[in-house]
Structures are given as C-alpha cells and as structure tokens.
Amino acid sequence: MDLVHIYQCFCDRTRLRILNLLSQSPLCVCHFQAILGESQVKISKHLAYLRDRGMVKVERDQNWMVYSLLGKPAPELESNLKCLQDCIQSDPLFARDLGKLASIRKSCCEPRTAFHESDRDRRRYGKAKRPFHLRS
C-alpha cells in the first residue's frame, strides 16, 4: 500500500478516531455517529475516503454497512497502525471514544457483524431479537 495514501488517511482527526474504533472491532455508521457525535454524512464521507484508499473494507449486512480494517494489511499499513495505536494510548479523546464503544457494545443488538472479530462469531448467533439497535 502506498505510504502517501496511508498518511493521507491519517491526516484527519475524525479518520484517526474511526481507525481507533475499528482497531477494536467492525462497526457500522450509526455506531460511529453515536460515539464520535458527528453527522451521518460526515462519517459516511470519511469512511468512503478510507475505503477508496484501501484502508478499510465494507460488507453489507441487511440494512447495515459494516466497516472493518483489512484482515491482512500490507506491512507498512500494519506498522503505521501500530505506531498510531502507541501514539494515541494516552490521548483522552481516543480513550473516551473507546469507553463509549464499550458502553454501546453492551446495549446494542444489531448487526451481528459489528462488534465481532470474526465470521465464526457471526455464525454462532441466530437471528433472535435482543435489546435495541442504536437508531430505531
């Protein structure tokens, strides 16, 4: 992956917050909205930016678009993401985002592909209704 593309993706604080959250688990747009407190349009555009440069992938799950980091990123992307993680460890903004993520993880029911690391988890869950999803 082109280094310049990597840094183009990194040079915006909203995108850094998105990447921080995705480092924990796949998520969809409404999760980002809830955690980052930004508009759906803004989130959507930044995700498109990251997707266009090959930094994230998206899979549709019914109505939801579930974004995630690449399973096997290029070495330079992997090392830069690690470096980024080290740098933001002590930044309260990013820490607060992770706290919010932990919160909504407990209460959110759909989509299945969000919050989980692998497709194995996905198959483990049925279609059973649970608490509530963020938006409805």
Partner DNA sequence: TGACTATATTCCTAAATAGGAATATAGATT
Partner DNA sequence: AATCTATATTCCTATTTAGGAATATAGTCA
**Residues near its own copies (CB under 8 A):** 3-4, 7-8, 10-13, 16, 75-76, 79-80, 82-84, 86-88, 91
Cβ proximity to its own copies, 52 vs 119, nearer residue:
52
Asked if 115 is part of the footprint of DNA (rule: CB under 7 A), the reply reads no
Asked if 39 is part of the footprint of DNA (rule: CB under 7 A), the reply reads yes
Q: 66 and 58 in contact (C-beta within 8 Å)?
A: yes
CB of 53 to DNA, least distance (A): 8
Q: 133 and 110 in contact (C-beta within 8 Å)?
A: yes
Burial class (CB in 10 A: 0-12, 13-18, 19+), 21: buried
DSSP state of 32: H
DSSP, collapsed to helix, strand or coil, labels residue 121 as helix
Out of 29, 36, 101, 108, name the contact with DNA by CB under 7 A. Answer: 29
d(C-alpha 42, C-alpha 118), whole Å: 27
| Three-state DSSP string of 83-104 | HHHHHHCCCHHHHHHHHHHHHH
Out of 41, 87, 93, 102, name the contact with DNA by CB under 7 A. Answer: 41
Window 51-70: contact mask with DNA (x via CB under 7 A): -------x-x-xxxx-----
Cβ proximity to DNA, 33 vs 88, nearer residue:
33
The owner of tokens 């019914």 is: 62
Residue type, 112: R
Cβ proximity to its own copies, 10 vs 58, nearer residue:
10
Which residues are near DNA by CB under 7 A? 8, 11-12, 14-15, 28-30, 38-49, 58, 60, 62-65, 133-136
